[in-house]
Structures are given as structure tokens and as C-alpha cells.
Amino acid sequence: MHRPPLKHCRVCGTAVAYRLPDDGDTKERAVCPACGTVHYDNPLNVVGTVPVWGAEGEQVLLCKRNIEPRWGKWTLPAGFMELGETTAEGAARETHEEAGAQFEMLGLFTVMNVVRVGQVHLYYRSRLLSTEFHPGHETIEARLFTESEIPWEEIAFKTVKETLACYFADRRKGRYDIHTLDID
């Protein structure tokens, strides 16, 4: 999901002009010269989980991507948050869709800003209830990895790498915190 530049008004279809709106706003927006609609583009949330298995959460579920970008690379289940759901509900939905896993949701774990692409990524911890996975069409394969098995060079996204690193560090400490990070 990407957003091509807005050239036409979403309400009436007229070509927009980029200018300061008349309401005191200090940023240029796409303003419709016909109906006056002001259009805003804002950051998007990506929500996902760190699904773990084992008495001490020693294994993490990763999904091998069957879609671009990063086809064939490994990721945690995650995707764009939708209207009508909470961050946790969106994270659970993506875990169902991409891994077909049975799990219970635990707490919020990482909140990461990725300014370069206009996104905020939020990951929750989750506990797997079974090791049977039924990955959807976006996933080639879903499998469990111990820390030493994680294919660090084959991880699809920096936010996933950081979240996995936080998970194994907290696991060693024996306490899971909520981590806030800014990603280049």
C-alpha cells in the first residue's frame, strides 16, 4: 500500500492546488479551488506481533514473505492498521492472516517511528497456543526460530530486526518493557 501524490480533490475531482490553507495552518496542503476541501496526508500505523513458543518463550515465529517488497525475506507478522480496529486487534488480524497461527495477545512491546516512510510501527508480544501454522497467500513459509537460528541478514525490515533484538534482550533480563525507538 503506497499513496500516489494527490492531484485531484477527493470530493469533487477538480485538480487541486498546493498552498497554505486559509485557517492559519502553517503547512502547504492540497486545496480544492472548486469546493474548498483541504486534504491532509498523515503517517500510517503498521501493527504486528512477536509470537513466541516454549515455556520460556525461546522460539519466535517468523514468516517468509511471498510479496514485494522484500520477497523471500523473513518478517514478523505485521501490516497496515485499518479503520474499525484497535492497534492490538490489527496486530492480531495480521498474525491470523499472515501466519494462520493460534495465539493469545500479550502487551504492547515496541513503538517505532520510521519518519523516512511516514510510518509508526507498533508490535505486541503474543503467546502461541500451537505449532501448527496455516500461512496466507502473503507468506511462503511460517516457522519457529530460536535466538541462535534467527537469519539476521535475511530479515525484511529494520523495525523487525530491532523488535527481535529487544525481545531476546528482555528475555535474558527476565522482564519485558515497552521500547520506543526511532529508525533511520
With respect to a copy of itself, which residue has the nearer C-beta, 42 or 130?
A: 42
Q: Which residues, including other chains, have CB under 8 Å from residue 153's CB and lie 6 or more apart? A: none
Q: Is 4 in the site for a copy of itself (CB under 8 A)?
A: yes
Cα–Cα separations (whole angstroms), residue 116 to 10, 30, 44, 92, 163? 25, 21, 12, 26, 18
Cα–Cα separations (whole angstroms), residue 182 to 160, 163, 173? 13, 12, 22
β strands within 3-114, DSSP E: 17-19, 29-31, 38-39, 44-53, 59-65, 74-75, 78-80, 103-114
With respect to a copy of itself, which residue has the nearer C-beta, 9 or 164?
A: 9
Give me the 37-76 binding string for a copy of itself, x by CB under 8 A, dash otherwise.
xxxxxxxxx-------------------------------
**Number of Cβ within a 10 Å radius of residue 98:** 27
Q: Is 151 in the site for a copy of itself (CB under 8 A)?
A: no
Residues in binding contact with a copy of itself, number by CB under 8 A: 46
Residue from 86, 134, 146, 154 touching a copy of itself (CB under 8 A): that is 86
Residue from 31, 52, 78, 81 touching a copy of itself (CB under 8 A): that is 81
User: Contact positions toward a copy of itself, by CB under 8 A?
Assistant: 1, 3-15, 24, 27, 37-45, 80-88, 107-108, 111, 113, 115, 118, 120, 122, 137, 178, 180, 182
